[in-house]
Amino acid sequence: MRDTMCQSTETTNVPEIVEIPYSGHAAHIENPLTAISAISRFIREVEFKS
């Protein structure tokens, strides 16, 4: 299933993985400023494409 999802040619959206340093499963608590920055950047990109 993963291969089918990743091979879509009908979209220009490229998935992005953001690694939040010095954090584990609770990045929003363990490194909140970096997490907020990454989330804000994502929201701006989504709003720009809409």
Q: Residues 6 or more apart from 23 whose CB is under 8 A from it?
A: 29, 30, 31, 34, 35
**How far is 1 from 50, CA to CA, in rounded Å?**
28
18 close to 36: Cβ distance less than 8 angstroms:
no
Residue type, 49: K
How do residues 3-12 score in pLDDT, each as one tens digit?
Answer: 555 555 566 6
pLDDT in tens, 3-49: 555 555 566 667 889 999 999 999 999 999 999 999 999 999 888 87
